[in-house]
A and B are shown apart, each in its own frame.
Chain A
Amino acid sequence: MSLPATVAELVREFRAGARIVIVGASLAGLRAAETLREEGFTGSLTIIGDEPYEPYDRPPLSKQVLKGWVPADHTKLPRTREVNADWRLGVAAVGLDRITKRVRLADGEQVPYDRLLIATGTRARQWPNPAEAALEGVHTIRSRDDAAELQKELAESPSRVVVIGAGFIGSEVASVCRELDIPVTVVERGPAPLVGALGGVIGEIAAQMQRDHGVDLRCGLGVSSLEGDSGGHVRRAHLSDGTVVDADVVVASLGSIRNVEWLEGSGLAAGVWGVGCDAGGRAFDINGVVTDSIFVAGDVARAPHVLYEYQFLAMEHWDNAVLGAEVAAHNMVNLEPNYRPHLLLPGFWSGQFGVNIKSVGVPPFGDEIVFTQGSVADRSFAAAYGHRGRIVAAVTFDHGKWLEYYGKLIERSGPFPPPPSGWDQPADTKPVPAEFPDPRVPTAIPDVVLTGHAPSERTAEFRPRRH
């Protein structure tokens, strides 16, 4: 048998008889499972998830679900095909042994694998004081249950809601509160809402939008403590300027934490920014050597991106979960040269205060911004972000149909500022500083982030030179 024939036979046998384990039963895990079957994988497939539910869709949780339009349990993700998997739901993975190739579960079981996909995603950062976080009425939103509980309390017309942190989740919650005619105070440590993701210029527009909708927005402030009543229900928030806000619902929207703790000791390049992998989803070990049997996808993955100077990029975006999972799954059951890269132009959307906000590219990679179409006053516009004379991202408010144009410019490393529009030009078309905060400011962490190596985390094995 010729060598290529032997390799082809190997792939066939692997697809027929291998064991694949996916840790993480959300969007990325599900789409990976479907892709594996689509690719002809007929071996055993195990999907492990710490939540008790079948995969569901998270974006509606902070929008339609909170508004009460869609019940939290009506968010189940549609299936693209049968996956015929062994689902282990409601039990978390707690450890990984790469020598024996086993995943350890919280109930003590060990699940062996030939190929492993890490898709454990992120969780909500909790309010840091555990006693205060445990007060009734204090919420975070990440899961179906979180959203269901918060929705119930919002439906009971609370006297006031305090939202801590004005990133996308916090801003969306504030928007829902106003739609439900609930008084809401938003406390943001940075200078404006959305500054981490979109910078200070857009942040200022978002701030005005919130105030126009009756949000009591307090920027440049923190919440120092939450105070409960004798029944253990939150009643007020103490702000860092000494003011006190009475409220019976508090939403801590403080960003997310990547679920990597279970990988401790595994020797993988896992850390605060996620699990490092190549553009094909193959995980790196702590020495920066690529593994052959472990893959990463979704929010927890960080991979070098050709458009952004090969810096490692971590994207907490819906399409990154879908497309990253599809690429990783394809590569799990193929061999070189049939590997595919996951080269996604990042993109996200948000709906708040009646405005559809969308973005492509990596806005925080830019240092300048220019308005290119529409009207800032009407909050209906497109703007482009630039870095060293090239366009690296764009954002639109109610102008989503134009994103494709900017996406193409970004892919081609088009010039910044981009050529002016032929009509509907904004009043001011001069580039200005985009005003991104230092990414180390805690609540300013954008949901797409360039992830340099953390210097405190030096566990690689350096080898002595031998001459």
Chain B
Amino acid sequence: MVEETPWQQALRYANRANPYPFYEELRKTPVARQPDGTYVVSTYREIVTLLHDPRVSSDPRKCPAPAAARAEGSAEPAAEPIREVLTAPNIITCDPPEHDRDRRMMMPHFVGPPHAPHLISDLEPDIRRIVGGLLDDMRGRTRIDAVDDFAYPLPVTVICKVLGVPMEDEPRFHHWVETALDALDFGPEAASEEIRSRQAGGRQAVQEFAQFADELLDRYAQQPGPGMLSALANDNGPEGRMSKDVLASNALLLIFAGHETTVNLIAHSVLTLLRHPDALEKLRSRPELIVPAVEELLRFESSVQFWHTRSALEDIDIAGTTIPKGAPIFLAYGSANRDPERFTDPDELDFERPDNQHLGFSQGIHFCFGAPLARLEVQVAVGEFVRRVENPRLVEDPPPYRHNQIFRGPRHVLVDIDGIRD
């Protein structure tokens, strides 16, 4: 049997809890060609360079990847139900000028300035109330699940409010998202019986999710309601209205990315703090460190471990190799954030790390659209968890992980507690 590359090993489910030794191996070849023709970039400098290179596309329609991989006769192409179903581009899967226009149209309804500069900051009281309620509910218990009881409910409630998605639909789209994510695999296990058996379900989940967004937008087009989706469906801005399929695709992206990544970040933050009692104590005694602490947590356990839709539109010379025109490019943010060439002692958790320009939200024109909201949510959630939860202890280390490789996060984080402070 051919030996697996460090990248393939990093993608194995058995290594989900700790892919870092494989990333370290991977970084020895900053731009590493994989057997299926994909180029995996794992070092900070090279990733940043490519994020700013206008010869790199984010649009999977411009990338003949799966065909190339098949022609190579290597492993079967990775299953990607999401890509198959979503034919219309969203802001993360298209290039300028469409990307710029669509993002420009979405921006005023989200982060606001100059139109509504307080849109995000005005959510803080709501976020504090939700977090407070979740912690209050833990009173009297000795064991909690930091994922189900804490990390999950906050972002999903907030994103539903921001977008105007009815909260009663949450169980449905939660199921669709989980099913789709479990069927998506970029590693050697993609061809396994287990993953293959999930694919039909994943595909159907995405279809149902898309139909759900479609119907929601139709409703808002007829009867405007609260939130960003209704605003976009009825927008009459200077650049016109977003076409319905593009809007639906972006709606899916926002519903999905607006909570999934934040759940993982909160869960990983709790897990990381419980693994680093000194850091936890430092944050308890100096709560103002929560802002740089969240940045460090974004670096330490990145919610988006890599991104898979980029490709080279021309031959690109980088780090002593040439990425040929047409080749898919994976940018491994999770590895770059532990790159010792960029971060001193990268495996140390340091809430006072100077110049912490991590790639947890990427960089360049595709910099995370939801970053301001995610930052606020996680600052409040983690800050309050540290302040209020008495003597939290990790029950199981490592905890069980979810299957997905990109959106890497624990399925449960069981924590024993002595109580909840006021």
Contacts and interface: CB of A to CB of B under 8 A. Distances in A.
Contacts of B55: 419-422
Contact of A405 (B52, B57, B95, B96): B52
Interface string A121-162: 000000000000000000000000000000000000000000
A421 B95 CA distance: 11
Nearest to B53: A405
Interface in B56-79: 56-57
B173 to A, nearest CB: 32
A422 B54 contact: yes
A151 B283 CA distance: 45
Contact of B313 (A375, A401, A405, A423): A423
A373 B96 contact: yes
A424 interface: yes
B100 interface: yes
Contacts of B313: 422-423
Contacts of B57: 422-423
Contact of A422 (B95, B365, B367): B95
Contact of A375 (B53, B97, B365): B97
A176 to B, nearest CB: 15
Interface in B325-384: 364-365, 367
By CB atoms of chain A within 10 A, which of B48, B54, B97, B313 has the most?
Answer: B54
B49 to A, nearest CB: 7
Interface string A418-443: 01111110000000000000000000
Most chain B beta-carbon contacts within 10 A, residue among A380, A404, A423: A423
B97 A402 contact: no
Contacts of A422: 54-57, 95, 313-314
Contact of B96 (A374, A404, A419, A420): A374
Contact of B52 (A374, A404, A419): A404
B96 A424 contact: yes
Contacts of A81: none
A110 to B, nearest CB: 40
A373 B100 contact: no
B54 A401 contact: no
Interface in A380-424: 380, 401-402, 404-405, 408, 419-424
Given A401-B364, A422-B313, A424-B96, A408 B52 contact: yes
Given A408-B49, A423-B95, A402 B54 contact: yes
A424 B99 CA distance: 10
Size class of the contact patch on chain B? 10 to 19
Nearest to A69: B114
Contacts of A423: 54, 57, 95-97, 313
Contacts of A373: 54, 96
User: Which of A408, A420, A422, A424 has most B Cβ within 10 Å?
Assistant: A422
Contacts of A380: 97, 100
A419 B54 CA distance: 9
A380 B96 CA distance: 11
Contacts of B53: 405
Interface centre among A372, A374, A380, A405 (most CB of B within 10 A): A405
Interface string B33-62: 000000000000000110011111100000
A362 to B, nearest CB: 21
B95 A402 contact: no
Given A373-B96, A374-B97, A401-B364, A421 B54 contact: yes
Nearest to B55: A422
Nearest to B325: A422
A354 to B, nearest CB: 10
Nearest to A424: B96
Contacts of A424: 54, 95-97, 100
Nearest to A398: B100
A375 B95 CA distance: 14
Interface in B71-128: 95-97, 100
A423 B367 CA distance: 18
A169 B260 CA distance: 46
A380 B95 CA distance: 15
Contacts of A374: 96-97
A375 B96 CA distance: 11
A373 B97 CA distance: 9
A194 to B, nearest CB: 23
A402 B52 contact: yes
A423 B54 CA distance: 7
10 contacts: A380-B97, A401-B52, A401-B365, A402-B52, A404-B364, A408-B49, A419-B314, A422-B54, A423-B313, A424-B97
Task: Give me the 3 closest cross-chain CB pairs, A-B, nearest first.
Answer: A422-B313, A421-B54, A424-B96
Given A373-B96, A374-B96, A423-B95, 16 more contacts: A375-B97, A401-B52, A401-B364, A402-B52, A402-B54, A402-B365, A404-B52, A404-B364, A408-B49, A419-B55, A421-B54, A422-B55, A422-B95, A424-B54, A424-B96, A424-B97
